Chains A and B, each alone.
Chain A
Amino acid sequence: MGERLLTGFLIVFSAVFFGLAMQIAPPRVETALVGSFWPGMALTILFVCALIEFIRQLRQTKEERAAKETEDNRKKRALQEAMGEADNNKLLIFGGFIAFFYIIVVDYVGFLVATPVFMGIYLYVTGYRHKVMMIVAPILAIAVFLLLFVVATYIPLPRGIGIFKDISVLIY
């Protein structure tokens, strides 16, 4: 189902953007090719290939799909078995959400505050329960990051706004 949704999305995406590509202004200098040629070509091929893939998925019978999924799952499970791992969709969604909220929050509270707080939450939710390390790891991580980015490589870090910015400016 997910795969069909993805190819369906690609078909719509390529059709919409092909329409937009055709509206690209003509170049300021006279050339044999125009600005819409390259994106138009890429989107046309994308549309055709996504359509082929979508039809292939539709033509696949339930049995074929089930057999393919079983085969894929078997390979994946064998690999995970060897590595002692298992899938956890709840944690995957949590990972996506925590990353999403971190990027929103870091703009307001800055790197210095957001990073250890979110790291603590992430460690707790993913099942880490070592109390001392739960406190030490975020502090140690922030110290290493500051040393690596601010002192060693001069890479700017988000400072936040208001009081958070004042605190950040004191340190980096």
Chain B
Amino acid sequence: MFDNLLIAASFVADPFNLFVIVCGVFLGIIIGALPGLGTAAGVAIMLPITLALEPAQAIVMLGAIYAAGTAAGAITSILFRIPGEAQSAMTMLDGFPMAKRGEAGRALGLAMTASAIGGVFSAIALMFFAPMLAKWALRFGQAEYFALALFGLSTVTSLAAKSLVKGIISTMIGLFLCTVGTSDVFGVERFTFNNDHLRYGISYIPVIVGVFGMSEFLRNAGTVVVRKQEVAKDGAVKTQFGVIKEFLHMKALMVRSVIIGVVVGVLPGTGGTTSSVIAYNEAVRWSKHPEKFGTGIDEGIAAPEFANNSACGGALVPTLTLGIPGSSTTAVIMAALMSHGLTPGPNLFVQNKDLVWGVFGGYLMANVLMILGGLCGIWMFAKILRVPRSILNWVIFILCVVGSFGVNSNLQDVWIMFGFGLLGYVMEKYGYPLVPLVLAIILGPIAEAALVKGTMVYGSLWPFITRPISGTLLGLSVLSMFFPLIRNCFEKKKKSKTT
């Protein structure tokens, strides 16, 4: 353990690595502060740029964007009553009233510090739990990998959409698209139509950039600002350093919210939004003055911010150890790892120990730097929000074009990005979730390869069910898939009983 911590420390001590982390934090705060541009879209747009970096630096940079972006969603929630991120919606409930009282600086300070504390604790949890889980997962065979991929897909499918059928449709489109190209397992071409480009399959990066980034450009293009938002009273937004001492009175709230964040974050398909809602509700439930929530109190800002940043570290645990992303942003980070020729999973901890511990160290450092960045530079980030929307939107588009062109230096990837951007826009407009689509494109090849290799090794499909871990995971997959239906049945029964 001590050796591993030394690896992490030496990674962080490298000046260029530190520069990469600072850049990640800076970009993350900008991305998080911009309303409408989620961390998944932000990380997707930045993904191609990180291809020029070393794998560990690339992942740390994306991880820093993820953590800082999640935290910075609070800036617009507090100042303008617009959640920069869905997971910052709960922060708005107490953040905006506090800012309206003229205490915007205090609210921002509380939010950024709580986020950073949550992030630091989740990074520590990542350092302890990820290697343990990876060690356990080393025993996994093909059956377990197949079951695990299926479990990840089923939970995301059932939780991501209001309609289960739409979730399944989205997943199946992804599972089909990942079969385009020459199959590694069978050595045959599938849906290539004699096109040389398609023989190599559809690359992750243009798809992800298109689905998250290009669709964002289209959504913003079709939206006009008709009136300036209501702005909190505090004209000169300066974060107050003094708020740090307030956290000494919130120890129990902090521990509770961080645990909620990490645990919820680990579960695939849930993430920051769910954890912040649960943490806020728990804060109200345990409070001696629940009636004060919503009026602009410290606990109402701190609880969701502790939780949503803890969920970031939590979501990285299954991504790195099992190759199952816990959120849409970690799905993009996983694609980045694969673009660098690395396969997330337990073997990553054995074959690329330096990389893994470098990433852990870098992620921890990013959260520490976030406190400084957040406390010192909020006035600057608030100013970025005044840059005209059309300029920002054009920048998003150019980043999408250059990012997808840079992968193989050809325009076919740009057209793929454009096509998936349109698809993403249309799907989202009609309530089809995008996360299962992306996740299916990433997990589909893993699941198919494990299924085929497993049947070759075991001779039949039976061991997939009889092996204890894979059997349990398959059972959980079925259960999670039908969870919304079961829940609806119970709710209907409850309603009929009360009426």
Contacts and interface: CB of A to CB of B under 8 A. Distances in A.
Interface of A: 2-3, 6, 10, 14, 17, 20-21, 24-29, 31-36, 38-39, 41-43, 45-46, 49-50, 52-53, 56, 80, 82-89, 91-92, 94-96, 99-100, 102-103, 106-107, 111, 115, 119, 122-123, 126-128, 137, 141, 145, 148-149, 152-158
A99 B209 CA distance: 14
Contact of A122 (B165, B168, B394, B411): B394
A57 B173 CA distance: 20
A100 B191 CA distance: 25
Interface in B173-206: 173, 175-176, 179, 183, 185-191
Contact of B455 (A3, A10, A31): A31
Interface string B143-170: 0000000000000000000010110110
B251 interface: no
A42 B398 contact: no
A122 B226 CA distance: 18
B430 A39 contact: no
Contact of A103 (B189, B390, B409, B411): B411
A100 B444 CA distance: 30
A82 B228 CA distance: 10
A45 B179 contact: no
A3 B187 contact: no
A38 B49 CA distance: 33
Given A123-B394, A128-B388, A137-B391, A29 B187 contact: yes
A15 B459 CA distance: 31
Contacts of B165: 49, 52-53, 56
Given A27-B188, A85-B225, A95-B217, A42 B394 contact: no
B369 to A, nearest CB: 20
B183 A86 contact: no
A83 B176 CA distance: 37
Given A95-B222, A99-B397, A3 B430 contact: yes
A35 B190 contact: yes
Contacts of A123: 388, 390-391, 394
A122 B393 CA distance: 10
A87 B82 contact: no
Contacts of A106: 401, 411
A94 to B, nearest CB: 7
A115 B399 CA distance: 11
B212 interface: no
B487 to A, nearest CB: 19
